[in-house]
Amino acid sequence: MENSSVEKKFKTPIVLVSIIIPVAVVLLFSIRLKDFGINVEPLTFLPPIYAAINGITAVLLVSAVIAIKNGNRAIHERLMKLAILCSVVFLLMYVAYHMTTESTKYGGEGMIRYVYYFFLITHVVLSVAVIPLVLFTYVKALAGQFENHKKLAKITFPLWLYIAVTGVIVYLMIAPYYAN
């Protein structure tokens, strides 16, 4: 398949996925399974797991950049696929948690409250924005357009890394307020 046809083939699905995922998350975030008579124990054990997955994603991203800078394209590719997989697993766990558990209110006061909400809001907003960036960056690599892949990755990487790291920070900041 010709390089430009690979990009054309994936353009519409990427745009659709980039719209559907955030909309679905917002909708699912507001749904509680118990409201539909589905008795599922709250999945309160998930936040530290998905926070750890965010941390693993950050390590994978940095390792992937190191691999490609050292000329190891195969390792870079594997690490990036794992980072994408981790992000998908995070998303599934995050939605499952919020469909079974009431949201936790942040209890910090003073300046730390503003810091928390800064991290939370930028984390959420950028996590929506990064979806098409990750997918288009990946497709450019699939298409063998490595110069274009590299240019887009220079935008995608720091945003995705920020999201992964702030996911851990947000968890650490709100963890003391989770109901036991």
**Along the 180 residues of the chain, how does pLDDT read in single tens digits?**
455 677 788 888 999 999 999 998 888 877 777 777 788 888 999 999 999 999 999 999 999 999 999 999 999 999 999 999 999 999 999 999 988 888 899 999 999 999 999 999 999 999 999 999 999 999 999 999 999 999 999 999 999 999 999 999 999 999 999 875
Please report whether residue 4 resides in a domain: no
- Give the CATH number for residue 74: 1.20.120.80
Total number of domains in the chain:
1
Please report whether residue 59 resides in a domain: yes
Please report whether residue 86 resides in a domain: yes
| Residues spanned by the domain of 155 | 41-177
Please report whether residue 18 resides in a domain: no
How many Cα atoms within 13 Å fall on the side-chain side of residue 40? 16
Please report whether residue 95 resides in a domain: yes
Q: DSSP labels for 42-83?
A: --TTHHHHHHHHHHHHHHHHHHHHHHHHTT-HHHHHHHHHHH
